[in-house]
Amino acid sequence: MNADELRPLKQKAIDIRRLTVDEISHLGIGHVGGSMSVVEVLVLLYYRHLKHDPANPAWEDRDKFVMSKGHAGPALYAILADRGYFPKEMLYTLNKGGTNLPSHCDMNRTPGIDMTTGSLGQGLSAAVGIALGHRLKKLPGRVFALIGDGDTNEGQTWEAAMSASMFGLGNLVAFTDYNKMQIDGPSEVIMKTDRLLDRWTSFGWFTQQVNGHDFEALNDALEKAIAQTDRPAMIIADTVKGRDLPGIEGDYKNHNMPLTAEDADRAYAYFDELEAQV
């Protein structure tokens, strides 16, 4: 990836964080931390790799994306709005009664969402099913999935891991948003998710581990993952929960937290600083 390709992605990550903070702070509370940690992975997918057409979400040959950590919906909604799946004003309806943007992703409510998720551990199984379906129907579209640390606590994720490998799903590429935090505290203290590279490798996946906020590293890993045609690929993205939110970044209490107008203003000021460096 050259500098001209990198710059717009970096700018887009800032735009998406700004939009997500605006979206969540409008309501005043939300899943802030996990939405911030996934931004670079989502931007890389939705602005560079994912084959999709916002004007035609039903296009059968497109790639699919399963957000297994469904609580990071707000970041994905910001991207879908920015890509034109729905008007940006809709972001202000997040979690309000009757909204089409619920806390956790809902394929029947939100244009552009490919699978209903939110109960951790279930997303990767669904992604395996979609990948099997694409293979059976000889569809060219790949299936991308994003799981969180919490997903790896759930046994079902490892059932899905076994089956993806058994079925040789070369059309499945997953990311782990490895922010090492969970609701009750650091994963190191609550439930260790260490040696993830070894764990996924031992389950038969083509596994890489990179800085999840570094577009060049993520892009290199994604290109290698996509090149695998006979087995599923896992990219463990080392991330920081609440990334780029001053006073919030890295605090495990940021899983679901109030976000005031003052918090938002502080974030916008920091985003301005980041923007000056792009």
DSSP lists the bridge partners of residue 182 as 185
Q: Coil, strand, or helix at residue 188?
A: helix
The reply to whether 119 sits near other proteins by the rule CB under 8 A is yes
Q: 42 to 71, contacts with other proteins by CB under 8 A?
A: 60, 64, 66
32, 128, 196, 267: which one binds other proteins (CB under 8 A): 128
Strand order, beta sheet including 172-178? 64-67, 143-148, 172-178, 233-238, 206-211
Q: Which is nearer to other proteins, 160 or 240 (CB)?
A: 160
What track of x and - describes contact with other proteins for positions 231 through 250 (by CB under 8 A)?
Answer: --------------------
Whether the CB-CB separation of 236 and 20 falls below 8 Å is answered with no
What track of x and - describes contact with other proteins for positions 171 through 190 (by CB under 8 A)?
Answer: --------------------
132, 197, 257, 274: which one binds other proteins (CB under 8 A): 132
Q: Coil, strand, or helix at residue 247?
A: coil
The reply to whether 76 sits near other proteins by the rule CB under 8 A is no
Q: Which is nearer to other proteins, 33 or 73 (CB)?
A: 73
Q: Which of 46, 43, 45, 34 is nearest to 73 (CA)?
A: 34
Helical segments of the chain, H only:
3-27, 32-37, 39-44, 73-82, 123-136, 149-153, 155-166, 187-190, 196-202, 215-227, 261-277
CB of 260 to other proteins, least distance (A): 32
The reply to whether 257 sits near other proteins by the rule CB under 8 A is no
Binding-residue total with other proteins (CB under 8 A): 34
Q: Which stretch binds other proteins (CB under 8 A): 44-52, 86-94, 159-167, 184-192?
A: 159-167
Q: What is the 3-state secondary structure (H, E, C) of 73-139?
A: HHHHHHHHHHCCCCCHHHHHHCCCCCCCCCCCCCCCCCCCCCCCCCCCCCHHHHHHHHHHHHHHCCC
140, 166, 227, 260: which one binds other proteins (CB under 8 A): 166
Return residues touching other proteins (CB under 8 A).
60, 64, 66, 106-108, 114-116, 118-119, 122, 124-134, 136-137, 139, 155-156, 159-160, 162-163, 166-167
